[in-house]
């Protein structure tokens, strides 16, 4: 009766990895998480709907032969992402589909954008490609496009393009405060970019030392037309979530990233903590900090516990 914070399955978004072939590929650095074929992704979508999870987030493991310096496969209307979107929408029309707008799953160098000869990511050239990528995903049926690249100005370009092409109801969830974090390693394994990455992403992702900068980044994305914003990673940046929510009073989401998930799984496997208790306490912390929802690989486990 006196609980100040409520967590329900409707607060969860389940990230899913899609791959080619009729396979399930377990991801060693993410115990319990797999890459799924397009067909198998539809089964995960049905599972999500049955558990009351309102949205899934898709990330592709693009075959090596389709990766290039310019990430052109991102613009293929029949790429892995687009086929998975259409399959889910055919199978579970009312389930929300959130798509990643960034080039790192498609580039041969593992960066989120177009790079110059010195390996520096080019903001404006990348933003133009991201705009076309978002359109391709919207045309495939995405409900929410989520630019995760941290290029300046791309939200405004994407919003203008969506409006001009009739996708007025497609939302933009901007990765507005995405930090250059050490917690992303297992994700890069999942999408096949860890071994490709040359250098780091500190020239376009945020310095973990900075908080005021996060507020400036969020303000820019909201002004450009973002419907919601995201802070990433999650638990190490609860202070950023609180500040963003208090400053802007918009829907704020957090991504409980792969490294956070792996740490909980490692602690549970070592007997250092109870998995279910750790999962529920961390998710409650996000809601208490002001999140409207959380992207988490523990979504199906949490939904089952909440529905028990």
Cα 2 from Cα 239, distance rounded (Å): 24
| β-bridge pairing 24-26 and 34-36 | antiparallel
Q: How far are the Cα atoms of 101, 160, 184, 223, 298 from residue 287, in angstroms, in the given order?
A: 25, 32, 22, 25, 15
3-state class (DSSP) for residue 12:
strand
**Residues whose CB falls within 8 Å of the CB of residue 69, separated by 6 or more in sequence, listed in order:** 107, 108, 109, 114, 115
Q: DSSP string of 135-202? A: HHHHHHT-SEEEE-S--TTHHHHHHHHHHHTT-TT-EEEEEEEEB--GGGHHHHHHTT-TTT--S-ST
Where are the strands (E) in 72-153, listed by range?
A: 96-101, 144-147
Which position has the token pair 């208790």? 277
Cα 249 from Cα 178, distance rounded (Å): 19
Active site residues: 178, 232
25-35: burial string, b at 16+ Cβ within 10 Å, e else = eebebbeebbb
Cα 225 from Cα 222, distance rounded (Å): 5
């Amino acid at each position: 009766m006196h609980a100040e914070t409520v967590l329900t399955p409707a607060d969860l978004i389940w990230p899913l990895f899609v791959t080619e072939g009729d396979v399930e590929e377990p991801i060693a650095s993410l115990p319990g998480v797999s890459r799924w074929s397009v067909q198998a992704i539809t089964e995960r979508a049905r599972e999500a709907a049955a558990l009351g999870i309102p949205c899934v987030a898709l990330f592709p493991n693009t075959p090596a032969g389709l990766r290039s310096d310019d990430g052109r496969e991102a613009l293929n209307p029949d790429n892995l992402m687009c086929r998975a979107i259409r399959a889910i929408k055919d199978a579970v029309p009312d389930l929300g589909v959130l798509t990643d707008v960034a080039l790192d799953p498609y580039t041969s160098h593992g960066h989120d954008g177009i790079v110059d000869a010195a390996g520096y990511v080019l903001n404006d050239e990348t933003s133009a490609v991201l705009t076309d990528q978002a359109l391709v995903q919207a045309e495939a049926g995405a409900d929410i496009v989520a630019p995760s690249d941290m290029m300046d100005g791309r939200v405004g370009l994407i919003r203008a393009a969506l409006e001009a092409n009739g996708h007025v109801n497609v939302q933009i969830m901007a990765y507005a405060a995405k930090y250059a974090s050490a917690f992303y390693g297992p994700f890069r394994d999942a999408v096949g970019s860890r071994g490709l990455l040359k250098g780091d992403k500190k020239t376009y992702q945020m310095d973990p030392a900075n908080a005021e900068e996060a507020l400036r980044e969020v303000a820019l994305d909201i002004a450009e037309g973002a419907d919601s914003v995201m802070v990433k990673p999650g638990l190490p940046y609860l202070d950023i979530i609180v500040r963003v929510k208090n400053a802007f009073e918009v829907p704020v989401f957090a991504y409980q990233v792969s490294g956070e998930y792996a740490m909980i799984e490692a602690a549970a496997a070592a007997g250092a903590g109870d998995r279910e208790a750790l999962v529920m306490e961390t998710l409650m912390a996000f809601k208490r900090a002001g999140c409207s929802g959380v992207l988490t690989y523990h979504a199906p486990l949490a939904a089952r516990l909440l529905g028990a």
